[in-house]
Structure 1
Amino acid sequence: MGILTEKSEVFNGMFSIPTGGQLTVTKGSYNDYPILLQQVMNREFEHLMFFFYDWAPPPHSIQRLMDTLKLATRWGIEAGWKFAIHHLDSMTLNPSLRLELSRLYRVDNWIEPAFKELIPIRLNAITDEDVYRMGLRTYRKLTTTKELIEDEWKVVAMLPPPIEFESTGCKDHDKCCAVWKDIWWKCLGRKLLHPLKPLPLSEAANFVLDMEVPGMTSECHQAMMELIVLGDGFEEEKKHIEKAIEDLEAYQKDT
């Protein structure tokens, strides 16, 4: 147990030096007096020992790293925790699994990328195991955020920003307004409301800037493009996601 005593805060404080005239036997001192590690699988312990003694180069298996992370967190082995986090950080993990690991082992900076990865996934593609991993609170936050985003898609798709002024070079303001509204729906609106692969609002501004609007005067078109660039009409999706992540991070820090 020498390596654990040296590297683990928990095991370091577990062993005591007998004092006084009577000799006491400390668990772990002899084979006949083992330390019973509750709720620890042989595989998990072996993987932790691999961290201490087997300096094989990566790649390491995800299971090995998760086992190391679990016991390193439980027993206060900072080097093992950092080792597992470092390698898992660059691996492709199911986002629900990354959220579970984040919650169990206090890896707060994994919440944002994992949650953002779940946003475009359809709810019917999220399995019961995914829900179990991320937890009901996170799943509810995910579904609520997706609903808010979908509502925003509908608003943006159906209500183009109005042309509230007449450009000096525009000879038919009503025509420009009608063309703008028609092209907005045919090009952008349908993209946003696509049933299988909707256009994210984060990409909508660039889409509009590249959108051709035949029949609209160049002056009115230029004015609306400037409005798109300067406005924040496509930022609501980002705001909803950021608010959800902020709430999840705050809750995790408080628990």
Structure 2
Amino acid sequence: MFADKWICEPATEWALQQIENLGLRHTRMLGLACELGVRRWIDPALRRLFHIPTYSLTEEEKKEVGNDALAVISSAQHYLTNERMARAACPPPMSNVGFGERECAHYGIHHEKSPCARAWDLGWKEVGFRLIHPEEPLHLSQAMWFIRSQRFEGVSEVCRIATIESIAPSFEVEAEIYQVLTEKLNTLVRMSAYSS
């Protein structure tokens, strides 16, 4: 393209707009982003690809993305799946180091064996099932909304609220994985007149 040769910003912008107006698939846009060095296409394409398992892409889509980018995305998805499974495997401990909250009727050293803690463990099974659902797993970015919407029947309200707030930071890992993935994909983008 002439814009690449002459490094003319208006021409470059025009060329990029023409490609964007073609309505290409997100797989093709990501492949072109890496191939042409267009960093601004990475995030929109990646947002659409992030939760689509790479094994479900067609051969043509895999070819469009490119092997290097596909490997990076697959690794991130694998790591994300492991994080979901780890959180689904066992319920997180109740707040206050397992003692429960002072206002709870079962507060104390034996809180872990109390009806409140057993109800938390039982209620967490629903969260765990949703996190590892085989077809539509609950994304970690949506998990806290789902957890907060659960009643956890039998758990004292103070324990429920305190425990949910104490585990909230551990569900922010999806954003961290996405950021690392974006950084790694940006290293695959070659320097060009389209880099911005």
> In the alignment, is the contact (CA less than 8 A) between 2:50 and 2:77 conserved in 1?
yes
Q: Distance in 1 between matches of 2:34 and 2:102?
A: 58
Where do residues 30-45 of structure 1 align in structure 2 (5 Å cutoff)?
none
Alignment correspondent of 1:95: 26
Q: TM-score, normalised by structure 1?
A: 0.65
1:168 aligns with 102
Offset at residue 90 of structure 1 (A): 6.7
Q: Which amino acid aligns with 2:61?
A: D
**Identity rate of aligned residues, in percent?**
26
Question: Per the alignment, do residues 92 and 198 of structure 1 end up closer, same or farther by CA in structure 2, a change over 3 Å counting?
Answer: farther
Alignment of 1:190-229 (within 5 A): 190-228=129-167
What residue identity is the alignment partner of 1:182? L
Aligned residue in 2 for 1:185? 125
1:147 and 2:78 correspond = yes
Report which of the two structures shows the higher radius of gyration computed on alpha carbons. Answer: 1
Q: Distance in 1 between matches of 2:22 and 2:166?
A: 41
TM-score by length of 2: 0.82
Instruction: Please list the CA deviations of residues 101-149 of structure 1 after superposition, one character each: whole Å capped at 9, or x if unmatched.
Output: 2123221121122122112113332122222222111010011111101
Structure scoring higher RCO (CA < 8 A, sep ≥ 6) equals: 2
Report the number of matched residues.
Answer: 183
Unaligned runs of 5+ in 2: none
Contact in 2 for aligned 1:170/1:217 (Cα 8 Å): yes
Which residue among 105, 110, 116 is the counterpart of 2:41? 110
Structure with the larger helix share: 2
Sort the Cα spacing of 1:218 and 1:76 in 2 relative to 1 into closer, same or farther, 3 A: closer
Residue 90 of structure 2 aligns to which amino acid in structure 1? Answer: L
1:216 to partner: Cα distance: 1.0
The answer for unaligned runs of 5 or more in structure 1 is 1-69
**Quick one: structure 1 residues 80 and 94, their matched pair in 2 at CA, closer, same or farther if it must change by over 3 Å?**
same
In the TM superposition, residue 92 of structure 1 has moved relative to its aligned partner by: 4.4
SS at match of 1:234: helix
Cα distance, 1:176 vs structure 2: 1.3
Q: Deviations over 1:201-255 (max 9, x none)?
A: 0000111111111111122112213324xx4111222212211210121232569
Tell me the SS of whatever aligns to 1:237: helix
Q: Once superposed, what is the RMSD of the aligned Cα atoms? A: 2.2
Cross-structure match for 1:235:
172
Q: How does 1:11-30 map to 2 (within 5 A)?
A: none
